[in-house]
Amino acid sequence: MTLPELSSFVDMLYIGGTKNGALLGEALVINAPALKDHFRFHLKQRGALLAKGRLLGAQFVALFEDGLYFELARHANVMATRLGKGLRARGVEFLTEPVTNQVFPILTDRQVESLRAHYSFHVWTRVDSGRSAIRLVTSWATPDEAVDGFLADFARTSA
């Protein structure tokens, strides 16, 4: 599905930038005319309108040229798929099935503590008295070596 096709099904569409190569920022596409009225005023009133915000928009212009945004997103998803398959091959269960660039493996408390010595991640939720689901996120910049290194370190925690 293309971005215009997806956009045609919703009133508003949020497009994240940082996991896909933008320095910072998000894009909000508003399709419903009734929602556009005074939107900039509401942003400004709540302190969310940057003085030079159009400079953030320039990042999205570059990202949407020649399909770069989707190329970078595919890479992030491929890295997450590799990570998920590698963990599954080592017997890991998941809080939710990995389908995006976010992976939620369920690990023992010992595994979580061991991995925390080398990696930063968020403990998403407690699953039971001895296990938690953590949130791992891949991006446009995640190299194969990072996934391989994490899987190797995880294998050591399981030994």
149 alpha-carbon distance from chain centroid:
20
CATH fit for domain 71-158, picks 3.40.50.1000, 3.30.260.10, 3.40.50.620, 3.90.1150.10: 3.90.1150.10
- Model confidence band, residue 98 (pLDDT cutoffs 50, 70, 90): very high
103-119 pLDDT, tens digit per residue, is 999 999 999 999 999 99
Q: Both tokens of residue 86? A: 């590698």
Q: State residue 120's pLDDT score.
A: 95
Q: State residue 47's pLDDT score.
A: 72
Look at the pTM and tell me if it is higher than 0.85. no
Residue 82's φ and ψ, nearest 5 degrees, are -60, -45
Most confident of 26-30, 40-44, 154-158: 154-158
User: Where along the chain do its domains lie?
Assistant: 3-69, 71-158
Q: State residue 43's pLDDT score.
A: 78
CB distance 158 to 114 below 8 Å: no
- Model confidence band, residue 79 (pLDDT cutoffs 50, 70, 90): very high
Compute the average pLDDT of residues 117-125: 96
Q: Tell me how far apart the alpha carbons of residues 122 and 12 are, in angstroms, rounded to a whole number.
A: 29
Compute the average pLDDT of residues 85-90: 97
Q: Flag whether pLDDT at 48 surpasses 80.
A: no
Q: State residue 28's pLDDT score.
A: 85
